[in-house]
Copies of this chain bind each other. A is one copy, B any other.
Amino acid sequence: MRQNYRLTISYDGTRYHGWEAKQNTDMTIQGKLEQILERMSKEPVKVIGAGRTDAGVHALAMTANVHLDTEAIRKQGTTPSEAGTALRDYLNRYLPDDICVQEAKAVSERFHSRYNAVGKTYRYTCYDAPQKPVFDRKYVYVLEHSPDLEKMRRAAGLLSGTHDFASFCGNPKMKKSTVRTIESIEIARHGARLAFTYRGDGFLYHMVRILTGTLLEIGYGTRSPESIPNILAARQRSQAGFLAPAQGLCLMEVRY
């Protein structure tokens, strides 16, 4: 019998070439998970992620689903009702230290981690003190100057809502719709840490990092908050700001 499982996964993306399995490297999150599950079930396994994070991007709670032969898990010595926990523990036993399955849960055959997702939350973290951050240095982007929060918040308000975000899409050959809805962009300071929290129905390739780069340029005064409508209307990547580095970005949540 086959069973569909939903996985909730945390990872430190520093060492990886992103979520998606690739032919020329085994350093992807999806690849690591599939490798272990294929060894367990002795057949090809496809782990379906809710999205693709770029190289160097982290996740607190990525979700994915996978159809598995339950016999393979039962061999790990459990009743079917405990199979989720057994699957989680099996994966964690073989995963490297920088990837962890927080939860594995038996779900309906029809659950699809990407198609059923209704929203995602990303957080981008900057740091702006002259003293470098020692302990979370791999999870923040260190700024040379302090940006103006009020200006960035004004721009964030203009970015919220349903818009064509083509100017904030890193894929110039994108054929599908570039219309997305941003529910909110919250910008909060905690000491020297500036957290940009983006909630939306979905995000284009590089979108959160380009939004952050654009907001930072507004915070530095090289663009005005009021330039946002023109950037959106242009539908050209060249009109938006720089691509903020991957290491500051973390996928916080996928909503269903």
- Bound-complex Cα distance A153 to B102 (A): 30
0/1 interface trace, chain A 126-161, chain B, CB 8 Å (1 if under): 000011111111010000000000000000000000
Secondary structure class of chain A's binding surface, majority of residues:
loop
Number of interface residues of A (CB under 8 A): 23
CB neighbours (8 Å) of A137 from chain B are 12, 97-98
A92 within 8 A of B: yes
Residue in A58, A95, A98, A100 whose Cβ sees the most chain B Cβ within 10 Å: A100
How near does chain B come to A238, taking the closest CB pair, in angstroms? 32
Cross-chain contact A139 with B135 (CB below 8 angstroms): yes
How near does chain B come to A82, taking the closest CB pair, in angstroms? 13
Residues on A facing B (Cβ under 8 Å): 10-12, 58, 88-89, 92, 95, 97-102, 130-137, 139
Cross-chain contact B101 with A131 (CB below 8 angstroms): yes
Cross-chain contact A97 with B132 (CB below 8 angstroms): yes
Cross-chain contact B11 with A88 (CB below 8 angstroms): no
Cross-chain contact B134 with A88 (CB below 8 angstroms): no
- Bound-complex Cα distance A136 to B98 (A): 10
